[in-house]
Amino acid sequence: MGRARKIVCDASSVRVEMSTGVDVLGDRIVNCTGVASDALIAQLIADQLATPDALSQSAAIDHEFRLIGPNQAPWPNLWMIGPATAGSLGDVVAASAISKQAEQLSARILA
């Protein structure tokens, strides 16, 4: 499917333009990126859709894994789990910690 090239968000939906030219429409985005630099997160911050985390290495999230927008309010449909959440939640690299985040987030999304 390629890499995300552009993301357009509004209060009720997201559209991701992929590098292959395909547009993916949805209600939510969950970014499970690793600790390396991530073009998607960098673009969200550059486009002022997300706020940098305390370490300026990723995007800031709240305790429900929602990305924090530039107005300091969490997005209702943008989440992030995994090592990229370290600047907001502390070190998260072990598979058991990431799977726990995934379990907690899926319960919130399905609630």
Q: What is the structure's pLDDT at 8? A: 87
DSSP state of 53: -
Average pLDDT over residues 86-103: 83
pLDDT of residue 60: 95
pLDDT at 72: 94
pLDDT at 29: 73
Helix (H) or strand (E) segment spanning residue 76:
strand 74-80
Per-residue pLDDT tens for 1-57?
677 888 888 878 888 888 899 998 888 776 666 666 788 888 889 999 999 999 888
Instruction: Classify domain 4-110 at the CATH topology level.
Output: FAD/NAD(P)-binding domain (3.50.50)
**Does pLDDT of 66 surpass 90?**
yes
DSSP state, residue 54: T
- For the cut 90, the answer to whether the pLDDT of residue 68 exceeds it is yes
Q: How many angstroms separate the CA atoms of 41 and 64, rounded?
A: 18
Domain borders along the chain are 4-110
- Cβ atoms within 10 Å of 38's Cβ, excluding its own: 18
Q: How far apart are the first and last CA of the chain?
A: 29
98 and 81 in contact (C-beta within 8 Å)?
A: yes
Mean pLDDT of 75-97: 84
